[in-house]
């Protein structure tokens, strides 16, 4: 039997379930249990057909109204749950755009200052028409010394503190090249003049203190032509040094010196200001020795198959680590090769900032 009290109780029960549904799935279950085909409200509606006309008049509108209220409550609860779900999702997926972005590999990776300086040298000398030549780190005695006019037994050989490899059965002793000058010989033997090359690379000497490491880097320069002379050498070095140190002008001082492979031989000093923690190139009243150079010795030309009566030329050799330390204010040479990631993150260069003359060498 249907009576008003039981309808009220049914409505109160369903509405309580609607209010208590924690999520949309639970609410759907409440809807099916009340308004589905066999739901509690639907079952009540089915009883209308078997009622007396008077009862139907009473209970018909009452039941329809109840069904409508339940349906409305379900709709409202559904909308509220959808809103709450959206709020929760928005809260959980919120992005704080004021946080710093995570560093990519590009930000943390660094180019070593020696590699950077080699790239800078290459950019500068390429613009002057030089190409780059390379040779092996393990050299023959002939290329490292003899062809460069170091006579066998000459004291200049001893000054190089050479690392020798074990002697071969035929008596030959290979060595770790003590300078990049053997690449001059290789180049002259394989290339017809005119020649304009730089030869950057690793070199080795048995020496270790604040300004010496057993492995270090040099760059050699070589120009061979019919009329190449010291005036050209001076211009090339001045242009190079002022571009490299990014200063408007440099002043050079040439002092006589001795190398077996050049005649005359000179050492070059650059005007600078020595401050407690830095050296400023291109100003001041101090002088800093920066490289060795000279006119290629006729014996060397001859040893390389170049006719000294037709061709002449000049060469120079410079320490790359030293000019890197000067330019970038690195006080101890040994730090360059200690593989300390903190040092590299401080002194290193961003990987995709290639040095160019137009875009800037060290920007």
Please report, as ranges, the residues that interact with ligand DAH according to CB under 6 A: 179, 181, 220, 259, 262, 292-294, 315-317
Nearest distance from C-beta of residue 319 to ligand DAH, angstroms = 8
Burial of 192 (0-12, 13-18, 19+ CB in 10 A): exposed
Beta bridge partners of 209: 212
Pick 14 or 293: Cβ nearer ligand DAH: 293
Work out the burial of residue 306: count CB atoms within 10 Å of its CB; fewer than 13 is exposed, 13-18 middle, 19 or more buried. Answer: buried
The residue among 144, 157, 216 whose CA lies nearest residue 183 is: 144
- Which class for 156: exposed (0-12), middle (13-18), buried (19 or more C-beta within 10 A)? middle
Tell the smallest beta-carbon distance from residue 104 to ligand DAH (Å). Answer: 41
Name beta bridge partners: 231.
none
User: Is the preceding omega at residue 264 within 30 degrees of 0, hence cis?
Assistant: yes
3-class SS of residue 236? helix
Instruction: For the CB of residue 231, give the shortest distance to ligand DAH in the complex, in Å.
Output: 16
Contacts of 183 (CB under 8 A, 6+ apart): 133, 134, 135, 197, 199, 201, 220
Q: Which is nearer to ligand DAH, 193 or 317 (CB)?
A: 317
Least separation in angstroms between residue 358's CB and ligand DAH is 29
Residue 313 vs 348, nearer CB to ligand DAH = 313
Please, what is the minimum distance in Å from the beta carbon of residue 266 to ligand DAH? 8
Note whether 274 and 286 are within 8 A (CB).
yes
Chain residue whose CB lies nearest ligand DAH: 317
CB of 223 to ligand DAH, least distance (A): 11
Closest approach of Cβ 106 to ligand DAH, in Å? 37
Q: Which CB atom, from 160 or from 271, has the smaller least distance to ligand DAH?
A: 160
User: DSSP characters for 75-99?
Assistant: HHHHHHHHHHHHHHHHHHT---TTS
Of the pair 259, 311, the CB lying nearest ligand DAH is at 259
| Residue 133 to residue 92: CA distance in whole angstroms | 60
Minimum gap (Å) between residue 312 Cβ and ligand DAH: 13
Torsion (CA) 286, 287, 290, 294 in degrees, nearest 10 = 170
Q: Kindly tell me which of 182 and 348 has the beta carbon lying closer to ligand DAH.
A: 182
Residue 164 vs 258, nearer CB to ligand DAH: 258
Instruction: DSSP letter for 23, please.
Output: S
Those residues whose C-beta lies under 8 Å from the C-beta of residue 33, and which sit 6 or more positions away, are 17, 39, 40
Q: Give the shortest CB-244-to-ligand DAH separation in angstroms.
A: 17
Query: How far is the C-alpha of 332 from the C-alpha of 344, rounded, in Å?
Result: 13
CB of 316 to ligand DAH, least distance (A): 5
Looking at beta carbons only, is 41 or 199 nearer to ligand DAH?
199
Closest to ligand DAH by CB, 51 vs 288, is: 288
Question: What gap in Å lies between CA 116 and CA 305, rounded to an integer?
Answer: 35
Which CB sits closer to ligand DAH, 116 or 262?
A: 262
């Amino acid at each position: 039997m249907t009576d008003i009290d039981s309808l009220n109780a049914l409505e109160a029960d369903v509405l309580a379930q609607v209010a208590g549904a924690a999520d949309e799935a639970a609410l759907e279950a409440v809807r099916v249990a009340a308004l589905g085909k066999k739901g509690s409200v639907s079952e009540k509606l089915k009883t209308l057909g078997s009622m007396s006309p008077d009862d139907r008049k009473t209970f018909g509108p009452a039941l329809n109204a109840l069904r409508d209220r339940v349906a409305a409550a379900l709709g409202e609860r559904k909308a509220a749950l959808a809103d709450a779900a959206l709020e929760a999702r928005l809260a959980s997926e919120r992005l704080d755009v004021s946080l710093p972005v995570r560093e990519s590999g590009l930000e943390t990776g660094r180019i070593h200052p020696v590699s950077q300086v080699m790239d800078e040298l290459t950019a500068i000398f390429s613009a002057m028409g030089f190409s780059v030549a390379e040779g092996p780190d393990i050299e023959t005695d002939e290329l490292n010394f003899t062809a460069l006019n170091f006579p066998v037994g000459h004291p200049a050989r001893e000054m190089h503190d050479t690392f020798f490899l074990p002697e071969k059965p035929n008596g030959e002793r290979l060595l770790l090249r003590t300078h990049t000058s053997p690449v001059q010989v290789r180049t002259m033997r394989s290339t017809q003049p005119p020649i304009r090359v730089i030869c950057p690379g690793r070199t080795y000497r048995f020496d270790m203190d604040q300004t010496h490491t057993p492995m270090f880097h040099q760059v050699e320069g070589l120009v061979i032509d019919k009329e190449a002379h010291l005036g050209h050498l001076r211009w090339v070095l001045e242009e190079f040094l002022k571009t490299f140190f990014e200063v408007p002008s440099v002043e050079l001082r040439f002092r006589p010196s001795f190398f077996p492979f050049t005649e005359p031989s000179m050492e070059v000093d650059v005007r600078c200001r020595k401050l407690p923690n830095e050296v400023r190139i291109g100003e001041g009243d101090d002088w800093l020795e920066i490289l060795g150079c000279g006119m290629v010795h006729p014996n060397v030309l001859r040893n390389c198959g170049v006719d000294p009566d037709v061709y002449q030329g000049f060469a120079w050799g410079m320490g790359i680590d030293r000019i890197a330390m000067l330019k970038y204010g690195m006080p101890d040479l040994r730090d360059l090769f200690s593989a300390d990631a903190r040092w590299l993150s401080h002194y290193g260069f961003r990987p995709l900032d290639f040095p160019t003359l137009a875009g800037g060498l060290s920007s």
